[in-house]
Amino acid sequence: MGEAPLLEIKGLGKRFAARQGREPSPWVIQGLSFSVQPGEFLTIVGPSGAGKSTLLNMIAQIDTVSEGEIVFNGEALASRDARALRPGCGRRIGYVTQDDNLLPWRTTFDNVLFPIEVQGRLDAETRAHAEMLVGAVGLAGFERYYPHELSGGMRKRAALIRTLAYDPPVILMDEPFAAVDAQTRAQLQADLLRLWNLKRKTIIFVTHDITEAIALGDRALVLSRQPARIAAEHTIPIPRPRKVEDIFAVEGFATVYERIRAAIQ
Amino acid sequence: MMRWRTYTDRLIVLAVILAAWQVGSFLVGPYWLSSPGAVAARFCAQIWNGELIRHGGYTVEEALIGTLVGGVPAVLLPFLLRRHPVMVAILDPFMVGGYGAPKLAFAPLFILWFGIGIESKIALVAGVVFFIVYFNALSGVRALDPRLVQMAQIAGAGERHVARHVVLPAAVPHILAGFRIAVPYAIGGAIIAELISSNRGLGYLVQTGAMNFDTTSVFSAILAATLIVHAANWLLNAAERTLLRWRPPAQAMLDAEN
C-alpha cells in the first residue's frame, strides 16, 4: 500500500466538557492513531463502552475532538470548536448510525432519495441508481411504505442504501446490524459485501462482534478499554469474495479470531 | 359492528339529555327555559329565513380571520427562534403570562380601541389563539429528535432543508393539536366580543334574545355555535388524516379520540 492514506487519525483524544457542577469526564479516547487507505474496508472491534461511537461521531464531524487531529485527503479538519464543525465534511463522509434515523414522514424510497434531493442532484440517473440499490437489497415493492410499516431488517437496509445512493467516498458504519436477529444480520452482511464489491468505497465499520469484524474487513483494529487506544491490528488474510455464512470454516479464521479475542481481554 | 353500537348508544344519550331538558322546561316554565321542541322549530325557521346563516357567517368570519392572524405568527415564531434558545428563554415568562391572562377580559378594551366592528373581534380571537398555538408549536420544535437533524446535515442538508424537511414535518402533529384546542376558543372568543357590543353575529342573537326574554332564540344561537365547532373539528380531522398519513395507526387513532 504505497498510496497516501485517505484518512489519518493522529493522537486523537476525547473527554466531555465540564457542565454545571460536574468535572470534565475522564478521557474516553486518548492517543488514538491510525490511518485508512482509499478503498479499504477497515473494521474496528472493541468492548461495549469503549468509545467506538464517539470516535465515529468525531470523524463524521458531529462531535468535537479534545486533542489530536483528523486529516482527511491531506486536509486537517477544524474540529475543536463545535461551531466550526461541518457535519459529513461537505458530503464526503457518509454515516450509517446504529439507529436507522429514517424520516418517519417519508416513504422508503423518498428516504433513500433524501440526500440526493437536498444536494440538488435528483435526476434520471441518480434515481435509477437508487432504484437499483432498492432492488439489490430486496426492498422492491416496499418503496411506498412508511418506515413504521417495515421490519427492523428492512429499515436497516433502507438506511444503508440511503447513504450508498449519494455515493460519499468514505462511509462510517456504527454497528448498523447490531439490533437485528442473527439470520437477518448474516443476510445484511452479505448484502453489504456484495454492494461494496460493486464499488470499492472506503468503509470504517465499528462492531463489538469479532466474527463480523473478520467476515467484512480487510484489516481489523482492536480498541482497548477506556481510555480507548489501538490495542492490536490484524490484517485479515481471507480472500474475497467471501461467504459470510461459513466464514468460520475458512482457513485462517480461527487464528485471527483467537488473536483478536486475546487482544480485547 | 362496533360503529353501529357506538351510534345507537350516542342516540340514547342524546334522547336522555333532550328528555331531561324537556322535563326541566315543563317544571320551570318555557318562559325561563325553552323546550327542545321549540328550539328545534326556531332553529329550522331561522335557517330557513337566513337569519342564522347570516349571523353565523359573521361569527365564522371573525373566528377564521382571527385564527389566521393569531395562528400564523404562533407557528412561525418557534421556527425562527429554533436556533436562538436564549430568545425563547427571555420571552418565556411573557408568553406564559400571555397564556395565563384572562384574554376575554380584554374584550371591552379591544372594543374601545378597535370599535364595535369586526376588528375588535379579530383582535380578541387572535389573542386567544396565538398563545395556545405558540406553546404547541414550540413543544413540537423541541420534541424534535436531534439525531434526525444530524443525519440530514451529514447528508448535505442546509439550514433551509433541515427546517423544511425535518423540523416542520416533525412539528405538524403538535401544530394541528394546537389548532384543535384553539378552535372552540376562537368561536367562543368571537361570540363573547359580540355579546359585549355588536350589531351582528351569533353573540348578538344571544344578547338580543336574552334582552327580550326569548330563551328559545338564545338556545337556537348556542346550538348553531356548537354545530360550527363540530364542523371545524371535522375539517381538522380530515386535514390530519391527509397530513399525518405517515403515522402508525395506533398513535393516529389515540389522537383522533382526544
Residues from A contacting B (CB-CB < 8 Å) are 60, 62, 87-88, 90-91, 93-95, 97, 99, 101, 103-106, 114-115, 118-119, 146, 148, 162-163, 166
The tens digit of pLDDT for each residue in A82-127 reads: 888 899 888 999 999 999 999 999 999 999 999 999 999 999 999 9
How far apart are the CA of B101 and the nearest CA of chain A, in angstroms?
34
Give me the interface pTM, i.e. the ipTM.
0.91
Whether omega for the bond prior to residue A241 falls within 30 degrees of 0, making it cis, is yes
Q: Do B245 and A97 touch (CB under 8 A)?
A: no
- Chain A hits for B150, CB-CB cut-off 8 Å, are 62, 87, 101
- Chain A hits for B152, CB-CB cut-off 8 Å, are 114, 118
Q: What is the pLDDT of residue A1?
A: 46
pLDDT tops 60 at residue A128 = yes
- Chain A hits for B157, CB-CB cut-off 8 Å, are 115, 118
Which H or E run contains A42?
A: strand A41-45
Q: Cell numbers at residue B88, please?
A: 425563547
The tens digit of pLDDT for each residue in B173-212 reads: 999 999 999 999 999 999 999 999 889 999 999 999 999 9
The tens digit of pLDDT for each residue in A149-198 reads: 999 989 999 999 999 999 999 999 999 988 788 888 888 899 899 889 88
Q: Which of residues 172-201 of B touch A (CB under 8 A)?
A: 172
- Chain A hits for B151, CB-CB cut-off 8 Å, are 95, 97, 101
How far apart are the CA of A114 and the nearest CA of chain B, in angstroms?
8
Mean predicted confidence (pLDDT) in B113-136? 95
Q: Is the dihedral of CA A98, A103, A104, A107 positive or negative?
A: negative
Residue identified by cell 379520540 is B257
Q: What is the pLDDT of residue A4?
A: 83
Q: What is the pLDDT of residue B253?
A: 54
B87-121 as b/e: b if 16+ CB within 10 A? ebeebeeebeeeeeeebbebbeebbeebebebebb
Considering the entire predicted model, what is its pTM? 0.84
